[in-house]
Structure 1
Amino acid sequence: MELDAPVLGAGLLSADRLEQANINPSTGLATDYLNHFNEVVMLLEMLPAMPDCAADVLDWEPLDYEAHFEGSNFSDKKLAVLAYHAAPVKLRTHLEKHVSQINEAVHSAQELIRNTPDISIVAQQIADVATNEIKPLISSASGVIHGHVRPDAIQLEGEDAQAEIDALFA
């Protein structure tokens, strides 16, 4: 770790400053990132009633945490990215695992839309996947952002990783 590297809880990344920006001061992560996924879930769930939403679903593309904030209207987006980089590596990795699962599920839904000539045939199936599979993954990702992660859920390697997790749950 560089001497100049920002540290959660200190300086620009003080707990008060992070809370004001709606960034979890313990994890350094912001739930605003999940809006990217909530938008596509809403579209997927609307498919049975509004099949025209399929085009918007097909236009949706995954964004990583940093890209989401760089392109967002989040008022403290630079702070969000800085805090993300200061967050415990194992916690970020755990979040990225959930994000990967969400992206895979959305990609599967997109492929089903692309490969089905009549969207009404699969619209309810896709909406059910959004409700029963993708939403719980988003909820799990939210748990990570809020620090509600069982320590045994994160694969630990070495004393430094354990120290990061211990600090998170202290």
Structure 2
Amino acid sequence: MIVSATKTQAGTAAEGRDGAQAPRLSTDFLNNFSEALMLIELAASDPGIVEDLQAWRSIGYREHFEASSLRCASAALAAYDGVDPRRRQAFEQVCQSMTRLVMTVNALLVELPRPAELPLIIEVASEALRKLISRSAQFINANGTVDIATFDDAALQKEIDRLLVR
């Protein structure tokens, strides 16, 4: 049986002390960064996509859900408020890193003439952005109970495996 480490940890964090469902963070927020990733990857082969990427704007977790009409928006905000402030700050720093990465690629895509190494830059930036999105998703799926600054996929999976052996 394969068990996702973050889903197992998220499942234990979902119930409050009184047995009621605790508010949960939501990965819907990451759709904005996934859209930027898609646009970056498409821009390598379709220069017309650059305008769409130029229009992309970063938005914070709180701002995203304050403007959202999703049913889970208020719960996602309540969960976010419940995350340890140091972990929340580390998560926000990862989000800022993703934004800087997107903006850097954005600037290179409008540069004329385009750098000869642009395809390699896009490949490297896309991989880095994909990893940061994945790390952010794991933080959100664990409902903020992992320290994103020191998050180690392998160590977390080992801990979950150890718990499942019991």
TM-score range, shorter chain: 0.5 to 0.7
Q: Distance in 1 between matches of 2:101 and 2:35?
A: 14
Q: How many residues align?
A: 135
Q: Does residue 133 of structure 1 match 2:138?
A: no
Q: Distance in 2 between matches of 1:113 and 1:98?
A: 23
Match of 1:16 in 2: 21
Displacement of 1:16 after TM fit? 2.5
Q: Distance in 2 between matches of 1:95 and 1:115?
A: 31
Return closer, same or farther for 1:151/1:34 CA change in 2, 3 Å cut-off.
Answer: closer
Q: Does residue 45 of structure 1 match 2:50?
A: no
Displacement of 1:34 after TM fit? 0.8
Higher relative contact order at CA 8 Å, sep ≥6: structure 1 or structure 2? 2
Maintained 8 Å contact 1:57/1:110 = yes
Paired residues for 1:75-90 under 5 Å? 75-90=71-86
Letter in 2 for 1:133: A
Q: Does residue 149 of structure 1 match 2:146?
A: yes
Displacement of 1:72 after TM fit? 3.1
Task: In structure 2, list runs of 5 or more residues that go unmatched.
Answer: 1-14, 152-166
- Of stretches 135-144 and 68-77 in structure 1, the one that deviates more from structure 2 is 68-77
Q: Distance in 2 between matches of 1:62 and 1:107?
A: 9
Return closer, same or farther for 1:114/1:49 CA change in 2, 3 Å cut-off.
Answer: closer
Maintained 8 Å contact 2:29/2:61 = yes
Give the ranges of 4+ consecutive aligned residues of structure 1 lying more than 4 Å apart after TM superposition.
none
Q: Distance in 2 between matches of 1:152 and 1:137?
A: 11
Return closer, same or farther for 1:124/1:71 CA change in 2, 3 Å cut-off.
Answer: farther
Letter in 2 for 1:99: C
Return closer, same or farther for 1:44/1:122 CA change in 2, 3 Å cut-off.
Answer: farther
Match of 2:91 in 1: 95
Task: In structure 1, list runs of 5 or more residues that go unmatched.
Answer: 1-7, 24-28, 155-170
Q: Does residue 115 of structure 1 match 2:111?
A: yes
- Describe the SS at the equivalent of 1:51: coil
Letter in 2 for 1:33: F
Identity of matched residues, %: 27
- State the Cα RMSD in Å: 2.9
